[in-house]
Structure 1
C-alpha cells in the first residue's frame, strides 16, 4: 500500500477503555502514525492516555472541539500545550474573537515554554448535520455556504486548517488550495451499526477531493481484524 496514502489516515480511538485503545495502536503500529483521541477516551482515561499513545512513537490528534468564551478557550489551550500533541480542535462557531484568541495563545504559550506548537484546527459543521438541522437551529443558509463562511473566518484568524465533511472538500480546495489543512471524518465503505454520519464518502473519494487527512474510526476499530479492515478500506 502507498505510504503516502497511509500517512493521510488518522485512526480514531473511540473507546472508553484504555486497554482496547492501546491494543489498536499496537495492531496498526506499522501502518498508522497519527491517532485521534476524542472526548470519550480523554474523559475516561484522562491526559495520561496521550502520554501512553505517544510512548508508542505515535502522534496525537486531540479532538476536544473547544467551544467557549475566548478567555476559557485561552486557558484550556495553555494547558494543552503541556501534552505535546500534533493537532487539536476548536469549534469555528465559537466566533472570530475565540478563534483569534486560540491561535494567539497557541503561538505565545508554545514560544514561552519552548515547545513545538500544535496545529490548531477549526471544526466547521458536524458531519451529523444536514440542511434541515440548520433550519431548525435558525440558520437559513445552505449547509455548504455555512461551512464556507466558517472556513473563511478561520483562515482570516490564522487557524491552520478546518474539519468538514468530504462533500465540502471540492469547493474548499478550490478556494484555499494549499492555504488550509483539510481534515475530514465521515469516511465509510459500508453501513455500520449506530452510524450517525450523514455527509460521507469513501476514503479514496475524500483523498481525491483534496483531503490532507481522513479520520477513520469504527470501520476499522470495531472490525474483528482491524489491520485487514484498514487495507480493505484503502483497496
Structure 2
C-alpha cells in the first residue's frame, strides 16, 4: 500500500462532492473516504461511479453486528470494487473473521479483495471516556493494542487508530499490518472534535501506513493546494 492520503468526504450529498472533486486532481491519484452520512444519502451508486472513474475508495461504514449479518454485508460491499472497508474491533474475533470471509466470497473475479480495517478506539474517545463510560480498566494504549491483536488474529489487514498509537502498535504487532490514522491536523489548524491528533509529518514519523484528512482539505480556500501540501508532508 502506498502512503495514501484519504480525503474524507464529509458531505451530505453527491452535489457537494461533485463541486470538490475537480479541485483535488486526477482520479487515479486521489484517495477518498466515504462515510456514513454520504453513503446513507447516495448509497452504492455513488461508490460504484467514483470507483469506475478511477478513484481509490475507503468505505468507512464501521460494521458492527452479529457475525452472520456482517458476513452478508461485507459480501455485498465487496462487489463495489473499493480499496478498503471498516469494522469495529469491539465486535470480537468471530465478527471480524466473518467480515473477512464475506469480502473474499463477494469479490468478483479479476478484482482485488478489499482490505479489512478494524477500528480500535475512535479518536474522539479520551482516557476518561474509556474508563468512565466504557468501563475499561486498561490504559488507552493497552486497550488499542489488545483490540489490534484480536483483529490481526481474526484476519483483518490493519487497524484504524490514532497516530499517537502507531509506534507502540508497530513494536508489538509488527510492520506487516496496516495502520491507518484519522485525527490528522496540519500545524496551526483547529482540532475540531478530535482529541488524539498529529500533523502529517508526525504521522509519517510514527509509521502510519496511510492518513485520513477532512476539513483541512475540504474547507481550504484551495483544496488541491492543501491536498498536495499534506501529501508532500506525509511522504
* TM-score relative to the length of structure 1: 0.91
Deviation at 1:123, TM superposition (A): 0.5
Deviation at 1:191, TM superposition (A): 3.5
Q: Which residue of 2 aligns with 1:225?
A: 222
Deviation at 1:127, TM superposition (A): 0.2
Please state if 1:149 is matched with 2:128: no
Contact 1:22 1:53 in 2 (8 A): no
Distance in 1 separating the partners of 2:189 and 2:179? 24
Contact 1:16 1:40 in 2 (8 A): yes
Residues 49 and 38 of structure 1: is their aligned pair in 2 closer, same or farther, counting only changes over 3 Å?
same
SS at match of 1:146: helix
Unaligned runs of 5+ in 2: none
SS at match of 1:214: strand
Please state if 1:27 is matched with 2:28: no
Deviation at 1:232, TM superposition (A): 4.3
Contact 1:85 1:118 in 2 (8 A): yes
Mapping for residues 94-173 of structure 1, pairs under 5 Å: 94-110=91-107, 113-114=108-109, 115-136=111-132, 137-173=134-170
Please state if 1:59 is matched with 2:85: no
Q: Which residue of 2 aligns with 1:177?
A: 174
Contact 1:122 1:162 in 2 (8 A): yes
* TM-score relative to the length of structure 2: 0.91
Please state if 1:18 is matched with 2:19: no
Point out the more displaced range, 177-186 or 113-122. 113-122
Deviation at 1:150, TM superposition (A): 0.3
Distance in 2 separating the partners of 1:86 and 1:160? 12
RMSD: 1.7
